[in-house]
Amino acid sequence: MARVTLYRPATLESALNDFNHYMESFFDDSGLSPDNRVLNHLPAVDVRETGAAYTLEAELPGFDEKNVEVQVNGGALTIESKKESREEKREGTYLLQERRKLAFSRSFALPENADPEHISAVFKNGILSLEIKKRAETQKRVIQITNEA
């Protein structure tokens, strides 16, 4: 019986690996693949860029704004859960326990044009939304041209 094998020339493989590494390293997220993120119990994050700001949205089901802390230290933005001091007591013995509130910490390197003094955070329906303004001097602006000499 004949086997089908996927053929990729070394140059294409290298180009794809470089592209994947570049995409995974956006915001210096340590190259976390979705599989590694899930295994390490890290929240899923989407990052968008507009002309004036970056928007970071993190899925944090089971958390609320009291259990999450956002910090900026130098050029790093960190989102982490606060550990709760009390444990919930329940009767009986678990036969299966899949739901746990695990602590997490996830850091992102801010781009050079991000303004760490102008970051706002909103928590709604299990989604943490951060708006990171860009520095005014790095934003695109249009110069008006006049017809005067």
Global pTM exceeds 0.85: no
Q: What are phi and psi of 67, to 5 degrees?
A: -100, 0
Range 46-53 average pLDDT: 92
Averaged pLDDT score across all residues of the chain: 77
User: What pLDDT does 125 receive?
Assistant: 92
Residue ranges and CATH numbers for the domains of the chain are 25-83+103-136 (2.60.40.790)
- Does the pLDDT value for residue 78 go beyond 90? yes
- List, for residues 93-115, the tens digit of each pLDDT value: 888 877 666 788 999 999 999 99
b (16+ CB within 10 A) / e for 63-88: beeebbebeeeeeebebebeeeeeee
